[in-house]
Structure 1
Amino acid sequence: MLQMGDELMSYSSLFLLVVLGTRSAAVACALTVSLYVFITMFRFAPLAPEQARAVLRPQASLGGVLVVALRGGSHDAPENTLAAIREASRNGASAVQLDMSFTADGVAVLMHDETVDRTTNGSGPVNKLRFAQIRKLDAAAQHRRKDKFSVEMVPTLQEAVEECLKHQLTIFFGVGGDPEKAASALHHLYKKYPGLKNSSIVSSFEPKVIYKMRQTNPNVVTALSHQPWRLSQVENGVDQNGSKWGQISSAVLDVLLDWAHHHVLWRLCGISAILVHKDSISLDYVQFWAKRGVEVVGWTVNSAVEKDFYQNVLKIGYFTECLLEDC
């Protein structure tokens, strides 16, 4: 009944919005019906709640929540490295988040940025460097604790998965672009390690990545990432859109994207979780998604007060950069 009421509200809102924008009931009807037919025909059914819950709340029987070391715990160890995975395990994480990128010769490696500049002693776009070149870089070169970790190689995705399985850590695969490559690389890993589907989540800000993943592996737990005002936000005091009209158009797109995430895209992709910036999460927000069978996971939760709030009030999982201290 909730789903039916949800859908009715969503399509009614869309109809009214289009009517106001076009002043044509016929156009509004056509667009609303077209969207309804499209979603009905091409949507993926969500995974069974017990299957998704087993991955997203593996400690639920003990009253715990999923504590995810962001990029392996970037404050405690060089991010997206095997050392970070080991350190996360030692420091009490129940999961790690790993960022996928692809080299010029198509090898899946761990790297958050489009370039290697920020985290290594090298320079250049990841997708322009061959794996042999990236393998020579020191992934600990820019880290605050580089003296402790000495030289750390940029690991392949497979090496990172094997390390996580060794430490029994749940994995959040963070996928940026390249949905075809990402789906293929992950499909290979899920075939090689059948148990991986019971201890991993594929997440992305890009709905097309999640949709492609559901096409390739319909039994894998997936999550959409969402940050309000992501397109129009000002970073470090600098307007990223170049002009006033650019800022306005980006703000409009942000509103539409927010609506789509909460009323259309999650249903189309059949996601099991939504990853949301901590500033947008409240108890009401968690309950909103719980009624739809979707888990909320917050990011990035770095203080002891915030962690206590997530564990004991919201009772949901969260990403953190630091497991042992505030940062």
Structure 2
Amino acid sequence: MTRIVAHRGSSSSWPEHTRAAFRQAIADGADGLECDVRLTAEGVAVCWHDATVDRTSDGSGPVLDHTIDELRGLDVLGGARVPAHLGRAGQQVLTLAELVEMATDAGRPLTLAIELKHPAPYGWRAEDVVLDVLDRAGWVDGRIGDVDVSLMSFHPGSLAHLASRVDGRVLMPLLDLLDPATVGDVPPDVAVDLLAESVAMVDSGAAGGVGPSVAYVRAHPDRVRRWSEAGRVVRAWTVDTADDLDVCRRAGVGEVTTNDPAGLRRLL
């Protein structure tokens, strides 16, 4: 059975990373919730993808220059009217601790997939903050009650840092094809080395899971299938069409991350 993880919540229904998007994902029957983490000015782990607030709010500037209260004062709904049961306007920006609580309060088994973003101006500090949040929530052996936690990153250094405090079973390198459009600020030769390190972590079993893009699955279906058969948790992203879902299932992918969990559930 293919498991469905909601990419930044049900982000085809409500703006990404909002309380509304995550609550909708739970209501849509998603098997898991995926989020990105950035640090605020006072060092709070907040659910946010970009390094700046410009794309997903009416504000501007780095997330790191905003306190959590300042972030909650921004319009992250784009003017959308949200039903009361999905949270008021000022409740839409979530800390990681609040998302953990939402997941544990769901009353059923869920996966919580947390991505650490890099490059970051604070080095590996976000990794330590995330682990502190999970420790306070009472996680043991990668679980908090009915919630399984996985920690993801495109940067193998992030995962190596986490490995000093957690079991490798909860770690998941993220993989994509090396396209100049996706490498970003990382020099191409560095990107090649980082990808090779991440693949080696999966091959060796140092990481218990792997998160390939759909493009990566298309390019390397046999490799992805070998990982699945070796017992790695394979969670592909971002799967929103019947064709992408078929590619993943034929490669033995067990979990898919999607913007539209309700729609993918219908396809399944």
How big is the shift at 1:194?
2.5
How big is the shift at 1:221?
0.6
Pick one of 108, 113, 136 that aligns with 1:172: 113
Provide the C-alpha distance between the structure 2 equivalents of 1:219 and 1:277, rounded to a whole number of angstroms.
Answer: 21
The yes-or-no answer on 1:130 pairing with 2:75 is no
The yes-or-no answer on 1:234 pairing with 2:195 is no
The yes-or-no answer on 1:223 pairing with 2:223 is no
| Structure that is richer in helix per residue | 1
Aligned to 1:260: 197
Aligned to 2:129: 184
How big is the shift at 1:272?
0.7
Provide the C-alpha distance between the structure 2 equivalents of 1:260 and 1:275, rounded to a whole number of angstroms.
Answer: 14
| 2:5–2:261 CA contact under 8 A, matched in 1 | no
The yes-or-no answer on 1:78 pairing with 2:15 is yes
Q: Runs of 4 or more off by more than 4 Å in structure 1?
A: none
Provide the C-alpha distance between the structure 2 equivalents of 1:86 and 1:181, rounded to a whole number of angstroms.
Answer: 25
Aligned to 1:156: 95
Provide the C-alpha distance between the structure 1 equivalents of 2:114 and 2:101, rounded to a whole number of angstroms.
Answer: 14
| 1:137–1:153 CA contact under 8 A, matched in 2 | no
Query: Which letter does structure 2 place at the counterpart of 1:234?
Result: A
Q: Relative to 1, partners in 2 of residues 1:223 and 1:133: Cα closer, same or farther, differing over 3 Å?
A: same
| 2:116–2:127 CA contact under 8 A, matched in 1 | yes
| 1:136–1:153 CA contact under 8 A, matched in 2 | no
Query: Which letter does structure 2 place at the counterpart of 1:194?
Result: W
Output the TM-score relative to the length of structure 1: 0.67
Q: How many equivalent residue pairs? A: 247
Provide the C-alpha distance between the structure 2 equivalents of 1:176 and 1:229, rounded to a whole number of angstroms.
Answer: 17
Q: Which runs of 5+ in 2 are unaligned?
A: none
- 1:230-253: CA deviation from partner (whole Å, max 9, x where unpaired): 5xx136xxx967xxxx9xx62x44
Aligned to 1:87: 24
Percent identity for Structure 1 against Structure 2: 26
The yes-or-no answer on 1:324 pairing with 2:258 is no
- 1:244-291: CA deviation from partner (whole Å, max 9, x where unpaired): xx9xx62x444444433323x446781011111101215412223235
The yes-or-no answer on 1:114 pairing with 2:70 is no
Aligned to 1:285: 223
**Which secondary structure does the structure 1 equivalent of 2:101 belong to?**
helix
How big is the shift at 1:292?
4.5
Pick one of 139, 144, 148 that aligns with 1:194: 139
Taking only aligned residues, the RMSD between alpha carbons, in angstroms, comes to 2.8
How big is the shift at 1:132?
2.1
Larger radius of gyration: 1
How big is the shift at 1:158?
0.6
Q: Relative to 1, partners in 2 of residues 1:206 and 1:301: Cα closer, same or farther, differing over 3 Å?
A: same
Q: Which runs of 5+ in 1 are unaligned?
A: 1-63
| 2:150–2:172 CA contact under 8 A, matched in 1 | yes
| 2:176–2:215 CA contact under 8 A, matched in 1 | no
Pick one of 298, 313, 319 that aligns with 2:236: 298
| 1:100–1:112 CA contact under 8 A, matched in 2 | yes
Provide the C-alpha distance between the structure 2 equivalents of 1:274 and 1:240, rounded to a whole number of angstroms.
Answer: 21
Query: Which letter does structure 2 place at the counterpart of 1:99?
Result: D
**Which secondary structure does the structure 2 equivalent of 1:106 belong to?**
coil
